[in-house]
Amino acid sequence: MINLEWLRSFKTIYERGSVTAAAEHLLVSQPGVSLHLSSLENHVGYKLFERRPRLLVPTERGKQLYNSIVDPISRLEEIEIKSQRGATEDRPTITLGMCFETFQLSLEPAVPDLPFNLIVEFGEYRQLLKKLEAQVIDLVVTPHSPELRGITYQRFSQERIVLVSGKDLDTSRFDPSDPVELKDWLMEHPWYGISGDNDHMVRFWKQNFQTAPDFKPNYIVPNFHSILRNLSRAPGFAIIPDFLCTQASDVTILWEGYTPLVNNLHFAQHRKSNHQPALQQIMELIRSKMPALDATRQD
């Protein structure tokens, strides 16, 4: 019989991208998480991840296993959290899915004053929305708005996806008039990306060069703020949302592309939500810190 802790560790590794990150999230030891993964792989008889430096990439069988267990394991985790008794048992518990940077910018300062319990999940938007559809998560902040059963979307902000350059990078050869020369020049410098989600880079590259990027970033770091901190110290490139650049010193928005790539940000929630007052408070806090909708920007 498969141990449920093996599955929970596998699910967390899949969502976090590494054993170290999974151990930190689960508040257990790294050797313990590694043991859970190896035990599960021995039990099912095949590898669930490809081992790469500082990153675990799921195999096709790993993806199949994740898709089959993510909903039931998430439901069990939610039941475990909501069934915990204590001094705050009468407070509602809200589970929120969003990107780390948006949380840090808009909601993190208000967390101690919230009149309800809050669980924040960071991860790939498709997985967060899948959890929302299953009513494991109460609210998702997302640039994507696929048709899902019972899910409604409210557009509230926009972000441009831009090419940024780091400190002391010589841009004298930057010339968008020749796409081929521009691509060659861009490839001469280091690139930064985030683990687990290269959606911005892929979409920007396809929109401007009509092809997917045929390279991987030189440095894979946990989030966009880490990218900006590194670019503030050294030359390089990254593709990130424009609103994150406002407080980054020595980082330059170099190019918006031949055709600007604009994301509409949405609040996604389930029609059957039982926590509307709390969700409204969260949405107002986030909306007050994010760029306002601009009618001149198009999808």
CATH number at residue 175: 3.40.190.290
Pick from 56, 84, 112: which residue ends a domain?
Answer: 84
Residue 11 lies inside a defined structural domain of this protein: yes
Report the predicted TM-score, pTM, of the whole model to 2 decimal places. Answer: 0.66
Q: What is the CATH classification number for the domain harbouring 23? A: 1.10.10.10
Residue 92 lies in a domain: no
Calpha distance 213→274 (Å, rounded): 43
What residue numbers bound the domain in which 77 lies? Answer: 1-84
Residues 234-277 have pLDDT tens digits of 999 999 999 898 878 899 999 999 999 998 999 999 998 889 99
Residue 63 lies in a domain: yes
Write the pLDDT tens digit of every residue in 5-34. 899 999 999 988 888 888 888 888 888 899
E strand or H helix at 68: helix 60-82
- Total domains, the chain: 2
Residue 49 maps to a domain: yes
**Residue 114: inside a domain:** no
Number of H helices, E strands in the chain: 10, 11
The reply to whether 123 falls in a domain is no
Give me the half-sphere count of Cα atoms (radius 13 Å) on the Cβ side of residue 239: 22
